[in-house]
Amino acid sequence: MNFNRQQTKYVGLALIALGVFALLRLWWLLPVLLLGGGGVYLYLQRRRMGQVNEAIQLGLWGIGLAVLSMLKFFFFPGLLLLAGASLLLRGHEAQVDSRVQALLSQFLNRRNNASTAMSNITTDNAPTYETPKPTKVTIVEDDQAATGETVRLK
């Protein structure tokens, strides 16, 4: 088996996490993290693919099952609530996705502002750098027949 550097890092982190779970006897937390992390991963993956409906449903079920596994006493009624919420979301996934994205951007902005404030405290004497200015891109269209080539700008 030939692992690359990134895979080796992930396997090492997973083994350390399993060791911490074993030392602290936190085995009950493992399914919660796997289900929640899987829900978030599948949401992000499907959203990148442009499948917003599937993204919302997979995120709801993954994170919902993670929460239900923490609340073992309410597992069966929780499944009924989760199924009902899933049915109610049908057709409204785009609205829910826009709200989720707004909440995520608020959270990330707060986190970035806090880290910027902390870096300003610790790096008062750090050298300043100029940010590069954007370059202007000009596309000249040819009057000849289209060649089928696509020009993408980022």
The model's pLDDT over 86-131, given as tens digits with 9 standing for 90+, comes to: 999 998 988 999 998 898 888 888 877 766 666 655 555 555 666 6
Residue 4 lies in a domain: no
Q: Does residue 152 lie within any of the structural domains?
A: no
**What pLDDT shows up at residue 140?**
57
Tell me, yes or no, whether 97 lies in a domain. Answer: yes
pLDDT of residue 41: 92
Counting the structural domains of the chain, the total is 1
Alpha carbon distance 107, 149 (integer Å)? 40
Give domain status of residue 101, yes or no. yes
> CA 55: distance to chain centroid?
11
State which residues form the domain around 56.
32-107
Query: Are 64 and 57 a contacting pair, CB within 8 Å?
Result: no
Write out residues in the chain with pLDDT < 50, as ranges.
none
- Type of residue found at 88: L
User: Which pLDDT score, from 0 to 100, does residue 88 have?
Assistant: 93
Is residue 151 situated within a structural domain? no
